[in-house]
Amino acid sequence: MARLESSLQRINQWDTALAVRCNLACRFGWAREVFRAVSRLGDGVFWYALMLLMLVIYGAEALGAVARMALAGMFGVALYGALKSATARPRPCEVYPTITAQAAPLDRFSFPSGHTLHAVSFSSIATAYYPDLGAPLWSFAALVAASRPILGLHYPSDVLAGALMGWAIAIMVLSV
């Protein structure tokens, strides 16, 4: 048991140290503004626009992809909402004075990153249907994921957990 606790402490120390380092990027005004904009678009605006654009460009052919993206969005909200309430992990900016929030959080708790969960699930589904969208979507998803610890709103482990959950949701929804 002591070995497990020691391992968990090391992981927490690494997670916190990386969160502090990421947040330092906000010393540069341009970086802070870029990641604020990416984060804001990742709130849903980008993904809703993508679904609409897919319908406009591909017509009825895109209905399957868009329906699966909407289903993934519903599963994602339910899953991350339940986990945030159950774990009640405070945001790093609330725990460590060296980490400052550079954007307003959408909700109270940190674990997991809902932004990352949705970025990964939506990118996975859209690129399963339209592989040519891969480069721009995965680039944007990576920026969304990076924005969360950079803005002081999440630990890197929150982002990793969100990415894994988003991937799992996409696989589940694509198999339906």
Which sequence spans correspond to the domains of the chain? Answer: 2-175
pLDDT at 4: 77
pTM above 0.85, yes or no: yes
In angstroms, the CA 168 to CA 175 distance is 11
Q: How confident is residue 23, by pLDDT bands cut at 50, 70 and 90?
A: very high
Q: What is the pLDDT of residues 39-93, one digit of tens each?
A: 999 999 999 999 999 999 999 999 999 999 999 999 999 999 999 999 999 999 9
Q: How confident is residue 149, by pLDDT bands cut at 50, 70 and 90?
A: very high
Q: Percent of the chain beyond pLDDT 70?
A: 100
Question: Which CATH code for domain 2-175?
Answer: 1.10.606.20
